[in-house]
Structures are given as structure tokens and as C-alpha cells.
Amino acid sequence: DTGVSQNPRHKITKRGQNVTFRCDPISEHNRLYWYRQTLGQGPEFLTYFQNEAQLEKSRLLSDRFSAERPKGSFSTLEIQRTEQGDSAMYLCASSLGLVIEGTETQYFGPGTRLLVL
């Protein structure tokens, strides 16, 4: 399967614990995005990378959230000191990200569903 993959698919944790999610984008894609989605809402942008550089961060991304893409391939999203309000689906997407129409199309992974108890 050459699509976007995410691990784990589900995570249950207790409030106050740290969690880390991983995303492996489509191999030739330069850009990688993280979104959060709660029930009844569309995905909300968190942050994105062009290769290893983090270009944009949403105000939704509090200082408890950090994302990395150290070698410009896979990315990790870490949430420290989780709160119940962090419970959501965390989606990763990737795109070619060239300055050519059509390459901005984002393809999503299956998501990591987080439940904070």
C-alpha cells in the first residue's frame, strides 16, 4: 500500500500522560500536514512541513503539542500532559507541494483516534 499510513490507529490514555503519533506520507510527497477532527466538524489544521521545515502552526497548537519531521520523511506529533479536550481523530495528509496546479491536492491517512480518560 503506497498511501499515507498512521500509527497507532487507536490510543486510549489517562489524563496527564504523553502520547506520540507517527505518520508516514506518500514517498515522493514533499509536504506533510497534521489535522485534528472532532465529531460533527471538518478537519482543523494544526501544522505542516515542507520537507523537514515546519512552515506553519495553527493557534490550536498549544505548547503541549509538538511535531517533527526530522529527515523530511515520516513525522511525529506529540501531545504532552494530555487533557480530555484532546480527544479527537488526528489526521495526517501529504501532498507533492510543487508550484504546479494539482500538486497541492492532499491525501489523507486513516487517522489516529485518541481518547483521553
Partner 1 sequence: RKEVEQDPGPFNVPEGATVAFNCTYSNSASQSFFWYRQDCRKEPKLLMSVYSSGNEDGRFTAQLNRASQYISLLIRDSKLSDSATYLCVAHRIISNFGNEKLTFGTGTRLTIIP
C-alpha cell at 50: 515542507
Q: Which of 12, 16, 51, 56 binds partner 1 (CB under 8 A)?
A: 56
Task: Return the biggest CA–CA distance within the chain.
Answer: 44
Q: Which of 64, 104, 115, 117 binds partner 1 (CB under 8 A)?
A: 104
Q: Is position 101 an interface residue for partner 1 (rule: CB under 8 A)?
A: yes
Using CB under 8 A, which of the segments 16-24, 33-41, 66-74, 76-84 binds partner 1? 33-41
Q: Mapping DSSP to helix (H, G, I), strand (E, B) and coil, where does residue 82 land?
A: coil
Give the residue carrying C-alpha cell 489523507.
108
Q: Mapping DSSP to helix (H, G, I), strand (E, B) and coil, where does residue 57 land?
A: strand
Q: Is position 28 an interface residue for partner 1 (rule: CB under 8 A)?
A: no
- Cα separation, 75 vs 22, whole angstroms: 6
Q: Is position 40 an interface residue for partner 1 (rule: CB under 8 A)?
A: yes
Contact residues for partner 1, defined by CB under 8 A: 33, 40-45, 48, 50, 55-56, 91, 99, 101-102, 104-111, 113
